[in-house]
């Protein structure tokens, strides 16, 4: 049995770091294991210009003194986004990608896109300049069942966008369905997908059976078990179009344990040990490094990280903190619901 893994330092291709006291409290949880992360722009107000992304990047650096961590910034696409600003911010190395939130789809998405035709000039400029588009793939129509919103988005929104702008490189973020996995597999080129830690573990029963579990509530919401199995199959398949984006999304406990629970699972603290456990159970430990440290960098045209992390297996379960205390309140750490035997023992 493998008891020790030395992996190229991983990257997180979808991360929420927030701002202010929350940023200060949770950023070290990601910087400990991850070398780089694609930083989501859904702050209040959102990060919509290159200048705002540069300022946010400075605040992240200030929250991580001495850390070897590179935030890869994104711009929040609105119907007022200036294509020239996107292209200039990308050319200047300030911005790595643009994030599309359908308006109303998730946390702080009110400034997102309602009419996808209005942003076509931005997509065209991005395709021309090689700026990738990260997509929150859910429709928001009230008549579409929440469990169907990802699959409907592919047909009604994503596929038409990709057909209209063939050179646009797209990352379907946090895929949750067999339909999304199949769609990514069916594409010739220019389409990748991130898979989160939690969607490899929970299905909708974990969320709803035996009482509602607010710390398992995220968007897109966890689906049926067949969909979770499709995600695991994609993650361990060795197909370079699927890579890790944790969507670690901290909310203080008072915003999770209340009448209207905020969406998000906080997995930054224990993602790597949990993934080692999941891949081990699947007999796929030899595929973990590509998923966490290889395929995403390749998709984004980045070099692999120079450093390594070492994971070791113990017969006794690993203890993780139940919560991270921050100046913005405590944040509950994702509990996979099974014993994890791996821990990170060295970072070089
Ligand atoms: O669960 C989620 N939380 N999904 C998202 O799309 C946004 C995120 C957040 O910002 O909290
Ligand atoms: Zn997210």
What gap in Å lies between CA 248 and CA 266, rounded to an integer?
5
Q: What is the pLDDT of residue 193?
A: 98
Phi and psi for 77 in degrees, rounded to 5?
A: -75, 125
* Given 12, 85, 239, 247, the catalytic residue: 247
Ligand 1 nearest atom to the CA of residue 101, by list position: 6
CA of 111 to the centre of ligand 1 (A): 15
pLDDT digits (tens, 9 = 90+) for 315-324: 999 999 999 9
State which ligand 1 atom lies nearest to the alpha carbon of 264: 1
Closest to 100 in 3D by CA, of 111, 92, 89: 111
Enumerate residue ranges in the chain where pLDDT < 70: none
Query: What pLDDT is stored for residue 2 in this prediction?
Result: 82
Q: What is the pLDDT of residue 107?
A: 80
Assess whether 82 carries a catalytic annotation: no
The preferred substitution site among 17, 173, 249 for testing ligand 1, maximizing ligand atoms within 8 Å of CB, is 249
Cα three-residue angle 260-263-268, rounded to 5 degrees? 140
Predicted pLDDT at 55: 98
pLDDT attached to residue 105:
84
Residue-level pLDDT at 6: 98
Q: Which candidate, 185, 269, 181, places its Cα nearest to that of 223?
A: 181
The ligand 1 site (C-beta within 6 Å) comprises 16, 42, 106-107, 136, 218-219, 247, 249, 263-264
Q: Whose CA is nearest to atom 3 of ligand 1?
A: 264
Measure the CA–CA gap between 238 and 234, rounded to whole angstroms: 8
Question: φ, ψ for residue 331 (rounded to 5)?
Answer: -120, 125
Atom 7, ligand 1: residue with shortest CA distance: 107
d(CA 313, ligand 1 centre) in Å:
31
The full set of domain ranges for the chain reads 4-347
Architecture of the structural domain at 4-347: Alpha-Beta Barrel (3.20)
**What global pTM score does this model have?**
0.98
């Amino acid at each position: 049995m493998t008891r020790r893994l030395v992996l190229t330092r991983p990257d997180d291709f979808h991360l929420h770091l927030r701002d202010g006291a929350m940023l200060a409290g949770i950023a070290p949880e990601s910087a400990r294991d991850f070398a780089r992360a694609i930083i989501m722009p859904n702050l209040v107000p959102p990060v919509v210009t290159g200048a705002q992304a540069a300022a946010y990047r400075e605040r992240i650096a200030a929250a991580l003194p001495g850390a070897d961590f590179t935030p890869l910034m994104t711009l929040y696409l609105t119907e007022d986004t200036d294509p020239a600003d996107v292209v200039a911010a990308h050319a200047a190395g300030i911005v790595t990608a643009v994030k599309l939130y359908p308006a109303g789809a998730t946390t702080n998405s009110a400034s997102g896109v309602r009419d996808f035709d209005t942003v076509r000039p931005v997509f065209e400029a991005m395709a021309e300049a090689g700026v990738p588009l990260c997509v929150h793939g859910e429709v928001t129509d009230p008549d579409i069942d929440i469990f169907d919103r990802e699959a409907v988005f592919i047909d009604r929104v994503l596929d038409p966008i990709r057909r209209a702008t063939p050179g646009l490189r797209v990352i379907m973020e946090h895929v949750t369905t067999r339909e999304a996995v199949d769609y990514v597999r069916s594409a010739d080129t220019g389409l990748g997908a991130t898979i989160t830690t939690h969607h490899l573990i929970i299905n909708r029963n974990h969320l709803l059976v035996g009482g509602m579990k607010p710390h398992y509530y995220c968007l897109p919401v966890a689906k049926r078990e067949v969909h979770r199995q499709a995600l695991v199959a994609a993650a361990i398949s060795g197909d370079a179009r699927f890579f890790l984006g944790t969507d670690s999304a901290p909310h203080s406990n008072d915003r999770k344990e209340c009448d209207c629970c905020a969406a998000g699972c906080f997995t930054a603290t224990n993602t790597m040990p949990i993934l080692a456990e999941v891949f081990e159970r699947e007999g796929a430990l030899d595929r973990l490094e590509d998923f966490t440290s290889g395929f995403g960098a390749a998709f984004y045209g980045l070099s692999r990280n120079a450093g390594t992390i070492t994971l070791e297996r113990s017969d006794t379960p690993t203890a993780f903190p139940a919560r991270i205390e921050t100046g913005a309140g405590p944040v509950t750490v994702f509990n996979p619901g099974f014993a994890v035997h791996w821990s990170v023992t060295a970072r070089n």
